[in-house]
């Protein structure tokens, strides 16, 4: 039985992904995981479902932070 979950449309050139979200995700990831790189995570996504989930979570977290920052701007 497969579990259907909403997919985050993450594509390296996806127009709906704000550029600041990927940059923020990269910064957050590399600060939290100094022995890994965001680019390596993105490469592993094709081969590992867990890494695909990790990437989605980092992008979603960055999008949430970016949205909160935009709301707080005067």
Domain residue ranges of the chain, discontinuous segments joined by +: 19-72
CA angle 39, 8, 11 (to 5 degrees): 45
Report whether pLDDT(5) > 70: no
Exposure class string for 15-49: b at 16+ Cβ within 10 A, else e: eebeeebbebbbeebeeeeeeeebeebbeebeeee
Question: Residue 74's pLDDT is what?
Answer: 74
Residue range 14-32: mean pLDDT, rounded: 82
Residue range 25-37: mean pLDDT, rounded: 95
pTM above 0.75, yes or no: no
CA angle 40, 43, 17 (to 5 degrees): 95
Coil, helix or strand at residue 42: helix
């Amino acid at each position: 039985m497969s579990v259907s979950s909403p997919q985050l449309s993450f594509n390296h050139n996806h127009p709906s992904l704000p550029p600041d979200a990927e940059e923020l995700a990269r910064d957050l990831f590399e600060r939290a995981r100094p022995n890994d790189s965001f680019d390596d995570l993105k490469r592993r996504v094709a081969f590992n479902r867990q890494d695909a989930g990790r990437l989605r979570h980092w992008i979603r977290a960055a999008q949430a932070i970016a949205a909160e920052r935009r709301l707080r701007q005067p």
